[in-house]
C-alpha cells in the first residue's frame, strides 16, 4: 500500500490539472491528455528518442568528465593542506557563479553545439563534486588515519584502504546531487546553445506559437527522466561496497 501512495499523489495532481483546465477554459495550458498526445506525436515523428538521447549524451559526457577530474582533485586538496589554502579561495569564488552565466563564453570558445553544452554541464558538476570530496576527506576521523599510518601503510595504500572507503558514502550523495544539477543545466543550455534535445524542444515549441502541448510534454519528459536518474543514483547508495563504507565510519 505504501508503494501506491506516490502514484496516488501524482494521480490527484493530474486530476486537479485537468479540472482546472476544464473549469477555466484556458488555451494557454493544455490538458493532460493533450500533453500525452504531444508525446505520442513526437514518438511518431521519430523525435522523442532523438531528443532524449541527445540530452542524455551531453549529460553523460559532461558529468563523467567532472567525476574523473573533480573527485581526485578534491581528495588531493583535502589531504594537502597548503594546496587547499592556495586553491580553495578560487573555488569558493567560482562555485556560486551560475553555469548559465558561462553560456556566452562557452559559445565563444566552442561554438553552438554539443561541446558548449558539455562544457556547461562539466562546470555545473565540477565544483560541487570537488567541494564534496574535499569536505569528505576533512570528515575522516583522525584516529583512522593515524591507525593506518601506524600499521605502516604507504600514502597510496592509505588512500585506497582508508580514505576512499571512508569518504565513499559522502561521495555518492554528492554525485547524486551533482547529477541533478547537471540535468537542470543541460535543459537550460539546450535552450540557447544547441538545436536538439529536450530544452530545444521546449523553445522550438514556444516559437511555433500555439504548441503549448509540446512545451508541457517536454517538461513532463524532463521531470520523468530526472526521477529515473535520481532513482539510479539512489540504487547506487544501496550497493554493498557503499554500505560497507557507511559501516566503516
- Per residue in 197-234, pLDDT (tens digit) is 999 999 888 887 778 899 999 999 999 999 999 998 88
The predicted structure's pLDDT at residue 248: 47
Residue 92 CA to residue 227 CA, distance in Å, equals 29
State what percent of residues in the chain have pLDDT above 70. 89
pLDDT 10s digits, 45-66: 999 999 999 999 999 999 999 9
- pLDDT confidence of 150, banded at 50, 70, 90? low
Residue 61: HSE in the Cβ half-sphere, 13 Å Cα cutoff: 13
CA distance 75 to 119: 22
What DSSP designation does 8 have?
H
Please state, in angstroms and rounded to a whole number, the distance separating the CA atoms of residues 123 and 98.
Answer: 9
Confidence at residue 52, expressed as pLDDT on a 0 to 100 scale? 95
Q: Average pLDDT for residues 147-158, to the nearest whole number?
A: 71
Q: Which three cell numbers stand for residue 67?
A: 567525476
CB 197 within 8 A of CB 54: yes
Place of cell 536518474: 229
Phi and psi dihedrals of 37, rounded to 5?
-65, -35
- Is pLDDT of 239 > 80? no
Helix/strand/coil (H, E, C) string of 73-85?
A: HHHHHHHCHHHHH
The pLDDT of residue 187 is 84
pLDDT at 148: 67
How much is the average pLDDT of 16-38?
87
**Distance separating alpha carbons of residues 44 and 60, to the nearest angstrom:** 26
**Backbone Cα Rg of the chain:** 22
Q: Give domain 30-248's CATH number out of 1.10.3720.10, 3.40.50.720, 1.10.1300.10, 3.40.50.1100.
A: 1.10.3720.10
Do you know the residue count of the chain? 249
Amino acid at each position: 500500500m505504501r508503494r501506491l501512495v506516490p502514484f496516488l499523489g501524482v494521480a490527484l495532481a493530474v486530476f486537479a490539472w485537468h479540472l482546472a483546465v476544464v473549469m477555466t477554459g484556458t488555451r494557454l495550458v493544455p490538458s493532460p491528455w493533450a500533453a500525452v498526445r504531444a508525446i505520442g506525436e513526437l514518438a511518431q515523428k521519430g523525435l522523442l528518442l532523438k531528443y532524449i538521447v541527445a540530452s542524455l549524451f551531453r549529460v553523460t559526457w559532461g558529468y563523467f568528465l567532472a567525476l574523473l577530474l573533480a573527485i581526485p582533485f578534491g581528495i588531493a586538496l583535502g589531504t594537502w593542506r597548503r594546496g587547499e589554502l592556495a586553491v580553495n579561495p578560487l573555488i569558493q569564488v567560482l562555485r556560486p557563479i551560475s553555469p548559465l552565466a558561462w553560456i556566452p563564453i562557452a559559445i565563444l570558445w566552442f561554438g553552438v553545439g554539443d561541446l558548449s553544452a558539455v562544457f556547461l554541464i562539466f562546470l555545473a558538476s565540477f565544483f560541487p563534486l570537488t567541494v564534496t570530496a574535499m569536505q569528505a576527506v576533512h570528515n575522516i576521523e583522525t584516529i583512522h588515519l593515524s591507525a593506518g599510518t601506524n600499521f605502516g601503510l604507504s600514502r597510496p595504500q592509505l588512500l585506497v584502504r582508508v580514505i576512499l572507503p571512508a569518504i565513499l558514502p559522502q561521495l555518492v550523495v554528492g554525485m547524486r546531487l551533482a547529477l541533478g544539477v547537471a540535468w537542470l543545466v543541460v535543459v537550460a543550455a539546450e535552450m540557447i546553445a544547441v538545436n536538439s534535445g529536450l530544452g530545444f524542444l521546449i523553445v522550438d515549441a514556444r516559437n511555433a506559437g500555439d504548441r503549448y502541448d509540446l512545451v508541457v510534454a517536454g517538461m513532463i519528459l524532463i521531470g520523468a527522466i530526472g526521477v529515473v536518474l535520481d532513482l539510479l543514483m539512489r540504487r547506487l547508495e544501496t550497493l554493498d561496497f557503499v554500505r560497507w563504507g557507511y559501516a566503516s565510519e
